[in-house]
Structure 1
Amino acid sequence: ENITETLEQKLVAMDIFKSQLGEFQDPRSVGALEALAKFRGSTICVKAAEAFVLIREIR
């Protein structure tokens, strides 16, 4: 999903929980989150994106 318009908001929100996050290159860091969003965005030709995994389909 394209999150180009909301990525900055997400990074600010994550910064609130900085005591729970690691330094850059830790997968739970703000820098890693931004890098992953940009990587995923590049795969669908947008600036930033998130990927989702379907765990269970409810019918």
Structure 2
Amino acid sequence: MENQNQNKEVNKLGGMIFVGFMFVGIASGMYFGHVAVGTLAGMGVGFIASAMYRSEKNK
């Protein structure tokens, strides 16, 4: 049961990492005038960071 709760917390924080990078990408895209590129870059970095966090925590 404790392992399930820990996995839920890891997944929740991993999702928050993804969303955070996505918003940073959107903001930087708006700043530089290329929102689509910034959003895709933020999502790409967010997926990678989220996967790295989840794999570290699930060891």
Scaled by the length of structure 1, the TM-score of the pair is 0.40
Query: Based on CA coordinates, which of the two structures has the bigger radius of gyration?
Result: 2
Q: Considering fraction of residues, name the structure with more helix.
A: 2
